A and B are shown apart, each in its own frame.
Chain A
Amino acid sequence: MIRDITLGQYYQADSVIHRLDPRTKITGTFFFIVTLFLAKNVWGYVIAAAFLVMSIKLCKVPFKYMVRGMKAIVILMLMTVVFNLFMTKGEVIFSFWKLSISKEGLENAVKMAIRLTFLILGSSIMTLTTTPNSLTDGLEKLLGPLKKVKVPVHEIAMMMSIALRFIPILIEETDKIMKAQMARGADFDSGNLVKRAKALVPLLVPLIISAFRRAGDLAMAMEARCYRGDSGRTRMKPLKYEKRDYIAYIVIILTLVLCIVFGRNAWWMA
C-alpha cells in the first residue's frame, strides 16, 4: 500500500555511513551527481558504479529495500528513456511507421537510464542513512554563510525538518482515513478520472483538517518552550568532523578526479 514509499525515509542501522557527518553525506552526494554528469565513456560509469556499490555495501541497508523506493519513479524514468530513444537525431538503425531509432538515441537512452538509476540510488543512500533532523542540521550548517546576505537559513532548515518529520505521520493518517472511508463503501481505484478525483474529497478534507490541527498544536508546543528562531540558539549536539569524514572526503574527491581523468573521452573511444 501507501507505506511502501521508501524514498526519503530513514532506515535504522549501525554502519560507517550512518555515523558520517551529515555535511559529508550531503557534499558527497552532490559530488557523486557531478561525477555522473561528467562521465562520458564506459570507464566513467564503471568508476561511478564502483563507488556506488561500495557505499551500498557499507551502509547496511538491504538492497531490496532501496529498490522498493525506486518503483515510484519508474514512470519518470521510462518517459526519459522513450523520449531519448525516439527524439534524438542521427544515424538511423531501426524504424517503423513515423518513429525511428538512431544510434545516438539508443546511446543517450542507455546513458540516461544508468544516470537516473545511479542518481536515485545515490541520493537514497543519503536519505536512508541520515535522520531528517541531522540532514537539515547539516544543510543549515552548510548554507550558514548565506546568513550574511540575510537569507533566513535557520528558519528554512526548521521548516524543512518539520515538513520531513510530518511525512510519515501524514502517510499513516492517509492510510487510516482511506480505511475509514472504504469501510463506508468509498471506492478509490475505479471509474474515470473525474470520478476518481471526486472520490478523493472524502480523503483530503479530513487529512487537511488534521494537518492544520497538528500544525497549530506544534506551534503552540514550540512557543510553550520559548522557541523564537535562530537568535542566540545553541545546539545539543554540535556537528563535528571526525577522522572517518576526512577519509570519506578523500574517497569521493578521488572518485571525481578519476572520473574526470579516465571518463572524459567520448563514448566510442572506450
Chain B
Amino acid sequence: MLSKRVIACLDVRDGKLAKSIRFVDTKDIGDPIVKAREYYLDGLDELVFYDITASSEARNIMLNVVESVAEQVFIPFSVGGGIRSVRDATDLRMAGAEKINVNSAAVLRPELISECAAAIGSQNVVLSMDIRRVGKTAGVPSGYEIVINGGRRPMGMDALAWAQQGEMLGAGELVVNSIDADGTRDGYEIALTRSVAESVRIPVIASGGAGTPGHLHDVLTTGKADAALIASMVHYGEYTVSEVKTSLHELGVKVRMSW
C-alpha cells in the first residue's frame, strides 16, 4: 500500500532558508542545504524548495543550492518559484531537481504546464496553487479563488476549475496552498483540500497551516490529501521529522517508517 508522504517545504531567499507568515513577513532561519540533509536523514519523504527571490543573480544561487542538495539528499525533491519557461524547468532538472513547481506563470500562461509536461514528463510537473477563501460568486462558484505573485494578486479564477484545467494540461500533481491558513499553524484548510482532491485524479499535496502532527492526520484522512507539506513546525525545532512521522503512524496513517 502506498504511503502518505510528508514533504518539507524550504523557502529559499538569496540562498538562505526563509519562512513567511501569511506571505508577508519573511525572516531567515538557516542554511537550506544543511536543513535538507538533516531532514533527509531523519526520514523525510520528499523536499520542496521555493525560490522566493526574483532577481537573476539569485536564480544562479538557487541552481547552486539545487546542485548541492542533489549531491546529499537521495529522496525526490522539487523546486519552484519564478519558473516561466521550459528552459527554467530543464535548468533546474539538470541541476538535480526531480520535479518542478509552476505557479503564477502558469496562471498567466496555462500552456506553460503542457510545455513542461512535454519536456520533462507529466509526473515531474507540479502545479502549485495559492488559494484564498472568498465569497461565492458567479466567477468563483466554489468560494476559493486563485491568487498569484505570492498572494498579492487575486485572479478571479475558481480554484477547483483551475485544478481541473491544470490536470488536463498535464500537471502530474497539485499543491493546494491555503493563503488563509499559511503560517497560522492552526491546521490545514481541510474542506478546500478535500474539494480539490475530489475534483481531480492526480495526487494532491496539502499546504499551509501545519502546526501539529494531528493537523497532518486530518488533512491526510478527512482532507483526502496524498501528501502534506510542513515548514515552521520543523524549521524552528518544535518537532523533528521523525517525531511527526511517528505520531502519524501512531494515529493510524500509513507512512514510511523505516529509513
Q: Do A and B bind each other?
A: no
